[in-house]
Amino acid sequence: MSKAVTAPQAVESLGFEQAMAELESIVQMLERGDVALEQSITLYARGEALKARCDTLLRQAEMKIEQITLTADGQAGGTTPFQTS
């Protein structure tokens, strides 16, 4: 019996955890060196797309994070948008 081969899911539709898991799998395959050159090139390109997807999702998450501001007496006074610098 042969195993059915399915096309990989579109990178843009993957959540962070899915993209990261697939990226880790690709890195392991490439590090082992047990794939043909053409497949390595294809895997590398997919890995680059997955890395970009993870970066995008992380940036989106950072923009959603709010920091709690404190009043002079140390009480929570509200929130402000996340600052990266």
3-state secondary structure 15-75: CHHHHHHHHHHHHHHHHHCCCCHHHHHHHHHHHHHHHHHHHHHHHHHHHHCEEEEECCCCC
- Tell whether the model's pLDDT for residue 14 goes beyond 90: yes
Q: How far apart are CA 42 and CA 36, in angstroms?
A: 10
pLDDT bin (cut points 50, 70, 90) of residue 83 is: low
Percent of the chain with pLDDT over 70: 79
Domains defined for the chain, CATH in brackets: 11-81 (1.10.287)
Predicted confidence at residue 7, as pLDDT, reads 66
